[in-house]
Amino acid sequence: MAADRRGKAETLALRRRLLSDSCRLFYPEDPIKIVRGQGQYLYDEQGAEYLDCVNNVAHVGHCHPLVVRAAHEQNQVLNTNSRYLHDNIVDYAQRLSETLPEKLSVFYFLNSGSEANDLALRLARQYTGHWDVVVLDHAYHGHLSSLIDISPYKFRDLDGQKEWVHVAPLPDTYRGLYREDHPNPAGAYASEVERVVNSIQEKGRKIAAFFAESLPSVGGQIIPPAGFFQEVAEHIHRAGGVFVADEIQVGFGRVGQHFWAFQLQGEDFVPDIVTMGKSIGNGHPVACVATTQAVARAFEATGVEYFNTFGGSPVSCAVGLAVLDVLEKEQLQAHAASVGSFLMELLRQQKAKHPIIGDVRGTGLFIGVDLIKDEATRTPATEEANYVVSRMKENYILLSTDGPGRNVLKFKPPMCFSVDNARHVVAKMDAILTNMEEKVRSCETLRLQP
Ligand SMILES: Cc1ncc(COP(=O)(O)O)c(C=O)c1O
């Protein structure tokens, strides 16, 4: 088969020689060579089947036949840039607008989440005439220079924080400043943003935008308390800035109850700009920015054309439309709600059984299992989380960690993930954690012996 022209060791050696070490592999000590994907499964060159619990890009399932067919059919007819009239781009914009609040009615098409966030930054700056950005701690918004600058997750390891970037605490009610026992965590975390806004203004600086993932994923699968975004938006709007909701990882029905994760905050919350990517093309490079007429008009007023060679091409839009069709036809949002709550319930039973599980949080098929050293300090159990991930791989389950402590096991599988998959994963996790606890107990016994 073309995808497996050489043995795994030879591919690895070639990759090491030809690609930068900055391009990392999963499981670097023993990488997997994947040659095929279908639904929620990936297959290696020997034909072994892995259950994919983390790839939120293959939203409706790896290589979904309807999405593949849509790309193929459109590829046979036409693929060109968006400067000619074509039905696909307007059909796609129309379909997306039906999923969003009415106010978000202007669309730009791009190729990646990073491009979408970079355009959001340009739109915000043009509309407000301001420059500065407020972000949540530990956030990641993309790999372009502009976005590394607003991604504490990255800039902390590089040349640090620019003077125009301001970081507000992550609204993490498990390990953050205000926790589950706080009477009003949404208000308390929003007051922290207000403090940041005030200190920016005291310095004579002006805010263009507040950027946040609607559910901070790199931050550790965080569920911000409902009402937080509304209060933040008030503070940001008062300072003349706009609210950008990054839905690149979490949108498109993943959260189950709603199509967009920002809707978890309440019906009354509408961002000024929404950015989308990853899942919306199911693996094909499709991304989008949705915004208001007012923001778009301000951007147009410069007279400068917005042109993107590949963004919004007939093929990209055909793929985007097919993803929406599959979501609807297979009722994947409702599926994510029911399978996600089943998985959460199983994981909560695990929490009652294994003290290493400090918290199970999530909604739909966006779930985090926070592993801790002990309940009193909630210190991240980083090595243990890595151990679980590598043992899961031995069991042909692909899982990964997130969060500043890299201790949160994250679930964001293709949306076709099933109840049986949930049962299987949790049974394996239970066995691994039980075995880990037995090992710790026997070490303690040895240590206690004179
Ligand atoms: C929340 C978030 N925003 C933006 C991006 C950037 O998207 P891309 O890698 O498609 O440029 C990512 C990628 O991981 C992301 O997780």
Q: pLDDT tens digits, residue range 398-407?
A: 999 999 999 9
Residue nearest to atom 14 of ligand 1 (CA): 142
Residue with the larger pLDDT of the pair 238 and 447? 238
Instruction: Say if residues 245 and 232 touch (Cβ distance below 8 Å).
Output: no
Ligand 1 atom closest to residue 278's alpha carbon, by position in its atom list? 10
At 149 the three-state DSSP class reads coil
Q: Using 50, 70 and 90 to split pLDDT, how confident is the model at 198?
A: very high
Structure tokens at 334: 């409702």
Structure tokens at 27: 């499981």
Ligand 1 atom closest to residue 114's alpha carbon, by position in its atom list? 11
Summarised one tens digit per residue, pLDDT across range 110-141 is: 999 999 999 999 999 999 999 999 999 999 99
The average pLDDT across 139-158 equals 95
At 194 the three-state DSSP class reads helix
Assess whether the C-beta atom of 112 lies below 6 angstroms from ligand 1: yes
Helix axes 419-448, 382-394, angle to 10 degrees: 130
To 5 degrees, how large is the angle CA 406–CA 408–CA 414? 115
Q: How far is the CA of 140 from the centre of ligand 1 (A)?
A: 7
pTM over 0.95: yes
Residue with the larger pLDDT of the pair 444 and 116? 116
**β-pairing verdict for 165-168 and 132-136:** parallel
pLDDT of residue 258 exceeding 80, the answer is yes
**β-pairing verdict for 242-246 and 207-213:** parallel
Residue nearest to atom 8 of ligand 1 (CA): 113
* Residue 450, pLDDT score: 55
The average confidence (pLDDT) of the chain is: 96
Burial of residue 315 (number of CB atoms within 10 Å: 0-12, 13-18, 19+) = buried
* Residue 440, pLDDT score: 83
Neighbours of 383 (CB within 10 A): 12
Assess whether the C-beta atom of 228 lies below 6 angstroms from ligand 1: no
For 86-90, the CB contacts below 8 A with 24+ separation are 86/314, 86/317, 88/314, 88/317, 88/318, 88/321, 89/312, 89/314, 89/317
pLDDT of residue 432 exceeding 70, the answer is yes
Neighbours of 73 (CB within 10 A): 12
Ligand 1 atom closest to residue 218's alpha carbon, by position in its atom list? 16
Summarised one tens digit per residue, pLDDT across range 19-43 is: 999 999 999 999 999 999 999 999 9
CA distance 316 to 89: 9
Please tell me what DSSP assigns to residue 108. Answer: E
For 84-92, the CB contacts below 8 A with 24+ separation are 86/314, 86/317, 88/314, 88/317, 88/318, 88/321, 89/312, 89/314, 89/317, 91/317, 91/321, 92/312, 92/317, 92/320, 92/321
The average pLDDT across 252-262 equals 98
Among candidates 293, 324, 253, 317, which has minimal Cα distance to 91?
A: 317
* Residue 120, pLDDT score: 98
Ligand 1 atom closest to residue 117's alpha carbon, by position in its atom list? 4
pLDDT of residue 1 exceeding 70, the answer is no
* Residue 439, pLDDT score: 87
Instruction: Say if residues 413 and 62 touch (Cβ distance below 8 Å).
Output: no
Q: How far is the CA of 372 from the centre of ligand 1 (A)?
A: 27
Q: How far is the CA of 59 from the centre of ligand 1 (A)?
A: 15
Q: How far is the CA of 322 from the centre of ligand 1 (A)?
A: 22
Instruction: Say if residues 83 and 309 touch (Cβ distance below 8 Å).
Output: no
* Residue 157, pLDDT score: 86
CA distance 65 to 322: 10
Please tell me what DSSP assigns to residue 265. Answer: G
Summarised one tens digit per residue, pLDDT across range 307-322 is: 999 999 999 999 999 9
pLDDT of residue 203 exceeding 90, the answer is yes
pLDDT of residue 443 exceeding 90, the answer is no
Assess whether the C-beta atom of 151 lies below 6 angstroms from ligand 1: no
* Residue 445, pLDDT score: 74
Best of 140, 153, 279 to mutate for ligand 1, by most ligand atoms within 8 A of CB? 140
- Per the listing, tokens 């999923």 go with 99
Which residues, in sequence order, are CB contacts of 312 under 8 Å at separation 6+?
Answer: 81, 82, 89, 92, 108, 109, 110
Q: Using 50, 70 and 90 to split pLDDT, how confident is the model at 224?
A: very high
Instruction: Say if residues 122 and 309 touch (Cβ distance below 8 Å).
Output: no
Summarised one tens digit per residue, pLDDT across range 362-373 is: 999 999 999 999
Instruction: Say if residues 276 and 251 touch (Cβ distance below 8 Å).
Output: yes
Q: How far is the CA of 189 from the centre of ligand 1 (A)?
A: 24
Assess whether the C-beta atom of 138 lies below 6 angstroms from ligand 1: no
Burial of residue 234 (number of CB atoms within 10 Å: 0-12, 13-18, 19+) = middle
Which residues, in sequence order, are CB contacts of 131 under 8 Å at separation 6+?
Answer: 125, 164, 205, 206, 208
* Residue 449, pLDDT score: 66
b/e per residue 33-54 (b: at least 16 CB within 10 A):
bbebbbbbbbbbbeeeebbbbb
Summarised one tens digit per residue, pLDDT across range 53-106 is: 999 999 999 999 999 999 999 999 999 999 999 999 999 999 999 999 999 999
Handedness of CA 147, 382, 54, 41 (dihedral sign): positive
Q: Using 50, 70 and 90 to split pLDDT, how confident is the model at 165?
A: very high
Residue nearest to atom 11 of ligand 1 (CA): 114
Instruction: Say if residues 371 and 381 touch (Cβ distance below 8 Å).
Output: yes
pLDDT of residue 171 exceeding 70, the answer is yes
Q: Using 50, 70 and 90 to split pLDDT, how confident is the model at 448?
A: low
pLDDT of residue 3 exceeding 60, the answer is no
Residue nearest to atom 15 of ligand 1 (CA): 141
The average pLDDT across 417-427 equals 98
Length of the chain (residues): 450
**β-pairing verdict for 357-363 and 408-411:** unpaired
Best of 143, 146, 248, 260 to mutate for ligand 1, by most ligand atoms within 8 A of CB? 248
